[in-house]
Chain A
């Protein structure tokens, strides 16, 4: 891995940690979600890659209208 690759990867990891924070905020809001989680994350500026990489930690417990993989 080159230095440039490593820097890009570390930036990506930092963004994925931000996805985790956003998911926690979404879950802690309680009540009926105003929008599916996937759209919530996209509206908060996260890329599909960032959501993809965090997706194993999301599980199937939130929202009924998510893409199946979220």
Chain B
């Protein structure tokens, strides 16, 4: 059976909205799993080519090569305990989005006071030429 969004021929990809929503939910689940596992390679595999990450308090980070060291630094320097909630998933044509909220405690591995934070993330996702949905833009900011 064909996976939603997978295209093995030159035919146009015409999924129903529900198929696209399911595929984006899977992307969101893979994202959350990768984050909770601290798996940088898994996270980067979920990005489209030439993604842009817009984190709180930093300039935009463009491209996987620039995102990788940022994630590696975060995951190497702190132990993160977090709880996330997926809030909404939507798709229209080749574009979609999902957004989530989170609460986390980041404890420096070298010692020091834990940092508590709450925030929200908006993921703009795009259907790729092969049919898979990937993260094209990610905006993250704290709520306090």
Indicate with 1 or 0, residue by residue over B62-93, a CB within 8 angstroms of chain A CB atoms.
Answer: 00000000000000000100111111110000
**In the complex, what residues of B have CB within 8 A of residue A54's CB?**
29
Given A5-B39, A9-B33, A60-B18, are A52 and B84 also a contact pair (CB < 8 Å)? yes
Residue A1 at the chain B interface, CB threshold 8 Å: yes
> Number of B residues contacting the other chain (C-beta, 8 Å)?
23
Given A1-B38, A49-B84, A69-B88, are A12 and B25 also a contact pair (CB < 8 Å)? no
Chain A positions 1-58 with a Cβ under 8 Å from a chain B Cβ = 1-2, 4-6, 8-9, 12, 47-49, 52-56
Q: Can you list 18 A-B contacts with CB-CB less than 8 angstroms, sorted by A residue number?
A: A1-B37, A1-B38, A2-B38, A9-B36, A9-B37, A12-B33, A12-B36, A48-B83, A48-B86, A49-B82, A49-B85, A53-B29, A55-B28, A55-B86, A56-B28, A56-B29, A67-B87, A68-B88
